[in-house]
Structure 1
Amino acid sequence: RPAKELLESSRAPKGIAVWNPSFDVTPAKYISGIITEKGIIYPNKDGKLDVAAFVKAHTEGVTETATATPVEAENGGSPENVENKLHVPMEYVEQTTETLPQFLAEHAHLAMETLGTVHADDLTCVEMGDGNLNLVFIVTNKNDATQQVIVKQALPYVRCVGESWPLTMERAFFEYTALAAQKKACPEFVPDLYYFSKPHGLIVMQYLAPPNIILRKGLIQGIKYPTMALDMGVFCAKTLFSTSGFALTTKAAREQVEFWSQNRDMCELTEQVVFTEPYLEAPNNRWTSPQLDNDKKEIEKDVELKIAAAQNKLKFVSQTEALIHADLHSGSVMCSPADGQTFAIDPEFAFMGPMGFDTGAFIANLFLSYVSQAGHSNGDHYEAWVLEQIGTFWDSFVAKFLEMWNDPKTHTGYLYGRDVLGSSDEMKQCQAEWVKGILSDTLSFAGMKMLRRIVGIAHVEDLDSIKDADTRAKCERHGLEIAKRFIKTAGSITSMKEAIEIAASLK
């Protein structure tokens, strides 16, 4: 920069009558923020603009390259709290429907092959815009509408809240890695992967064409899926068994725990919105008011409930049983009634955690669908069908898990070793105790997930789409009663059949 810059070099655009604005002339006390392509630099608590800290925060990890085989791979501050920054890789560019086709043409060659073209001009792009956390695009070949892919890009903040709630970009890397692991364990129920970019937080994967739709939307519409519950039971069994001590050596299992512990920001988010905030007064909480005001107060005063919730939180943070999806709700499943296809998607919360958190999350959303049916027009027969699917899912999960446990080709891990448990009777006794334990975990975590979807930050469309507030509150109160019963008494419930009967009796 020239020594006489202040005297001879105007930095302002032509037509603006100022000389060297902001940095060189304006006193710092008058600067409320510095706008950059990576966000706004706000003054810290001492009133200083710590540009060096901002640059450091936005350049961490930019040289890291993720290995993505067989998929192709390439390598903001808050005014309230300067530490609450948006951590964004230097190369990161938030994609739009205009920029994405060219990005794919330049970088995602396998995806372009799937799309049947090498030219960006041949592509059309639509942003779906219904997610809480990410951007999701459908990219289509203009010349052949059957050639499509899905592009998912992580944003550096919680989309449904805004930049005031920063969120790690690393979650895209963990989601891709989890998808790859699940694809290996259960290829039939996981979409194909075509491309991943860590700096851009961007995954390109198989487009699940109609009649595949999000399971939650299908349940609201009253669609019956002939194989959904069976398929999801198999998915949970295969992915959980294959990534646990039932299949892994001690060394491999501990290495997995070490690796997945790095997805700590997503774990912390779950700890906050599932295990903590619903049980106290928190600004993020919301519920149908005034109808459920007293219900919320009762939750905050229920000592037995809060102790059980705290014990469940301890399990969540300390039990490293398997690589869990950790967000397996009915919005993370796509199904087609026509051909019986089922796919599990969106495992960005994945980590080594308690198996029952996945099985519990899934049945929680089926129970939420069940209690919502009184606010929809699908009839009593559909309500009964939803309950049946909970039992079908559970039976499928247990049967497949025990099948893999009984097979020496798949039961290769360090847990329940065949050298110690030599007889079939001993093994069956261990299996019976294990099923009892996973049932208890499943129901208690299901209760936690149900309760948070009614009085926490993120609700479910099943209930929120019920327009009449009184009807909605009645359905939600039914859900709360089921949730509280499961959380407090899961250990005394002896079967999923009994759990379903309890849910029906609380209507």
Structure 2
Amino acid sequence: MALPTPDGYRMMDENELRHLLAGLPDIVARLGGDSGSWQVREVGDGNLNLVFIVEGNNGGICVKQALPYVRLVGESWPLDLNRAFFEYRASVIQAEHCHGLVPQILHYEPTLFLIVMELLSPHIIMRRGMIDAVIYPRFVEHITDYMARSLFFTSDLALPAAQRKAMITEFCPNTDLCKITEDLIFTHPYMVHELNRWTSPQLDGWAAAWRGDDQLKLAISRLKLDFLSRAEALLHGDLHTGSIMVTPDETRVIDPEFAFVGPMAFDIGKLLGNLVLNFFSHDGHETVSHERDAYRAWVVETIHGVWHGFAQKFLDLWTRHRTGDAYPRDLLPEGSAIFAQAQNAFIEQMWTDAVRYAGASMIRRTLGLAHNADLERIEDPDRRAACEKRVLELARDLVVNAGSYASVEQVTGRARAIRERDLG
């Protein structure tokens, strides 16, 4: 059953939302005209929430309201409404460090667990564009700014310990959303579970092999412990191409409702894993052999750019803003060999962890509950399964043998080798 809701909470419909917004002067001015003339429509096609677009004479807004259950499943899966608060707070914090890379928050209604934000237009969900082989020339520049700044400035490298511990305390109660991640990424795909699904019967044997693979289950269990216990920075928590809206010139990271203080490599690895998954998917979308070779090459270039750009920007921020309590200057002076050694070791460990999280994310999107449209939109199940088998082969190796991938180029090299072997 859905969770009990607090006094005053009600699920918005289009008329009720119109009435609510009409009482907010700043929103009225932003929309323009009489509220009766506003166009209000519910457009949510995601897994969790209601999402409305409201348009008036002067412009538009987006409104997101949490439901007391998982929308994808229904009332049989209750979910804490407070996830709206965590999204709101994460958006405010990240906006301080990533100006222009997250939507502007215009209003938060705590009783209704409702967020009003700027309407992103003509932006589209990046995943949709990538399925259609659209190139986004400034994406690497923008997403590496976002990741480096959002992670660095909320870590012990930038914050005094007391301030960061207060952030941990604030986001610790986001347990329902963390539990979804803990189960769907690190547990369910490796066991018999009613929420799992895959392309059947083509992947039946693969799913069974995953459930019987002790080395894989041991590796994913170790990774789950890292996810549970390493409170390094404020994470987006669900960073992938479905949580990014783009134009050729702009990038906005949306939907940080999974935000919590966790391992930095999780955000990085999840994004990289989704990009690798997209690389494999294009063989299922081609109508003519090799017609997407150039786009696959751009995806590979993007994967390289995301990691290298992030690492360079993160290290640069660390060198210029040593304001946290970790790695104190008195022990590791600027320009010293020991400080450079500390930075290199930190980034190398983050890379290895990101490789493991990338593999885990790829497995989840193939054998777990919520799949990626990159693969789901391949109509022919045999072609889809062929792509998914390549995803799974690489993903297992990333989780179990992450230490053998010393560079991002080795990851993409292995992805290309698997594909070329299968296609001849």
- The TM-score, its normalising length taken from structure 1, stands at 0.80
TM-fit CA distance, 1:175? 0.4
Q: Which amino acid aligns with 2:312?
A: A
State the Cα deviation string for residues 229-259 of structure 1 (Å, max 9, x = none): 2211110000000000011111111111122
State the Cα deviation string for residues 274-333 of structure 1 (Å, max 9, x = none): 111010000000000000000001111111111010011000000000000010011100
For 1:134, the equivalent position in structure 2 comes to 49
Which of 60, 85, 88 is the equivalent residue of 2:5? 88
For 2:176, the equivalent position in structure 1 comes to 265
Which of 287, 295, 299 is the equivalent residue of 2:206? 295
Counterpart CA distance in 2 for 1:497 and 1:395 is: 10
Structure 1 residue ranges without an equivalent (≥5)? 1-77, 79-84
For 2:393, the equivalent position in structure 1 comes to 481
Does 1:109 pair with 2:31? no
TM-fit CA distance, 1:181? 0.5
Does 1:309 pair with 2:220? yes
Counterpart CA distance in 2 for 1:472 and 1:253 is: 44
Contact map agreement 1:110 1:195 (CA 8 A) in 2? no
User: Which range moves more in the overlay, 184-193 or 422-431?
Assistant: 422-431
Residue 188 of structure 1 aligns to a residue in which SS? coil
TM-fit CA distance, 1:113? 2.2
Q: Which one has the largest radius of gyration?
A: 1
For 2:315, the equivalent position in structure 1 comes to 402
For 1:165, the equivalent position in structure 2 comes to 77
TM-fit CA distance, 1:95? 1.0
Aligned pairs (5 A) from 1:349-364: 349-364=258-273
TM-fit CA distance, 1:457? 0.5
TM-fit CA distance, 1:87? 3.0
Q: Which amino acid aligns with 1:101?
A: R
Q: Which amino acid aligns with 1:287?
A: W
Contact map agreement 1:101 1:124 (CA 8 A) in 2? no
TM-fit CA distance, 1:109? 2.8
- The TM-score, its normalising length taken from structure 2, stands at 0.96
TM-fit CA distance, 1:88? 1.3
Counterpart CA distance in 1 for 2:141 and 2:283 is: 25
Aligned pairs (5 A) from 1:389-468: 389-407=302-320, 410-422=321-333, 423-468=335-380
Contact map agreement 1:87 1:168 (CA 8 A) in 2? no
Counterpart CA distance in 1 for 2:147 and 2:348 is: 17
Counterpart CA distance in 2 for 1:88 and 1:411 is: 44
For 1:344, the equivalent position in structure 2 comes to 253
Counterpart CA distance in 2 for 1:242 and 1:364 is: 24
Aligned pairs (5 A) from 1:47-196: 78=1, 85-106=2-23, 108-117=24-33, 119-141=34-56, 143-144=57-58, 147-196=59-108
Counterpart CA distance in 1 for 2:273 and 2:32 is: 41
Which of 232, 239, 249 is the equivalent residue of 1:321? 232
For 1:23, the equivalent position in structure 2 comes to none
Contact map agreement 1:135 1:155 (CA 8 A) in 2? yes
For 1:37, the equivalent position in structure 2 comes to none
Counterpart CA distance in 1 for 2:373 and 2:125 is: 12
Structure 2 residue ranges without an equivalent (≥5)? 420-424
Does 1:274 pair with 2:190? no
Q: Which amino acid aligns with 1:100?
A: L
Q: Which amino acid aligns with 2:189?
A: P
Counterpart CA distance in 2 for 1:293 and 1:177 is: 42
Counterpart CA distance in 1 for 2:105 and 2:25 is: 12
Which of 300, 323, 334 is the equivalent residue of 1:387? 300
Does 1:204 pair with 2:113? no
Q: Which amino acid aligns with 1:355?
A: M
Counterpart CA distance in 1 for 2:392 and 2:414 is: 13
State the Cα deviation string for residues 195-219 of structure 1 (Å, max 9, x = none): 0011111101011111x10000000
Counterpart CA distance in 2 for 1:415 and 1:86 is: 41
State the Cα deviation string for residues 398-451 of structure 1 (Å, max 9, x = none): 1110110110xx220011111101252111111110111010111100111110
For 2:422, the equivalent position in structure 1 comes to none
Counterpart CA distance in 2 for 1:270 and 1:87 is: 23
Counterpart CA distance in 2 for 1:429 and 1:406 is: 13
Counterpart CA distance in 1 for 2:119 and 2:353 is: 34
Counterpart CA distance in 1 for 2:87 and 2:121 is: 21
Contact map agreement 1:87 1:169 (CA 8 A) in 2? no
For 2:152, the equivalent position in structure 1 comes to 241
For 1:469, the equivalent position in structure 2 comes to 381
